[in-house]
Amino acid sequence: MPASRSSPCYPDDIDIEISPDDIRVDVYHASGPGGQGASTPPTPAVRVTHFPSGIVVTCQNERSQIQNKAACMQILKARLYEIELEKRAEALDEIRGPKTTIGFGNQIRSYVLYPYQMVKDLRTGVETSNVEAVLDDGDLAPFVIGYHRWATGNADAETPSLHKPPGLCGDGLKPQQGGFVSRANPAQGWFCPANR
């Protein structure tokens, strides 16, 4: 089953309710054309002001005040709907984190296979020369831990690497696949995942 990113579920239908106390309806007569249109009655234009958002909508397209008011209310609801969509998009962007463009220089990890072998996380600085463990076995634990420390602002903590020490781990166990040492502070000793 493929992994999926979870995000808050918002209903697809956004119900826009406009209280009569939140709007002001102004009616005025729009000036009509001269010449042949001089004998036609002037068009009653309607201006609706929505106080909470400050949106002002004017309509004078229709021949009656009722139709112009209905058109204004539809336009006002559409604008309030767009504002609600923007708020939801901003909330989702805050949850997801910053987005960058896909292009050269924006990659998360770099893989060097020739002339030397190295995998390096460019955000956190975690790197390893054990490329087989990362590519073949999918051993990304040091990169995940390094990213977590970087994202939480604890970047000064021990940053793991996949370099395996010769010999024994701290408890006398032989190093296992996935054991790593801190390149930031090698004096702290080796970390062996079996000792957690």
Classified as helix, coil or strand, 71 is helix
Read off the pTM: 0.48
pLDDT for 99: 74
Give residue-wise pLDDT tens across range 26-85: 998 766 565 665 566 677 899 999 999 999 999 988 888 899 999 999 999 999 999 999
How high does pLDDT run on average in the chain? 75
Q: Which of 43, 83, 81, 48 is nearest to 61 (CA)?
A: 43
Give residue-wise pLDDT tens across range 87-129: 988 888 888 877 777 777 788 888 899 899 999 998 888 999 9
Distances (CA, A) of 80 to 15, 22, 179: 10, 13, 55
147 pLDDT exceeds 70?
A: yes
Q: Which of 161, 172, 113, 166 is nearest to 139 (CA)?
A: 161
- Determine the distance from the C-alpha atom of residue 159 to the mean position of all C-alpha atoms in its chain, rounded to a whole number: 27
What does the longest C-alpha to C-alpha distance in the chain come to? 103
164 pLDDT exceeds 50?
A: no
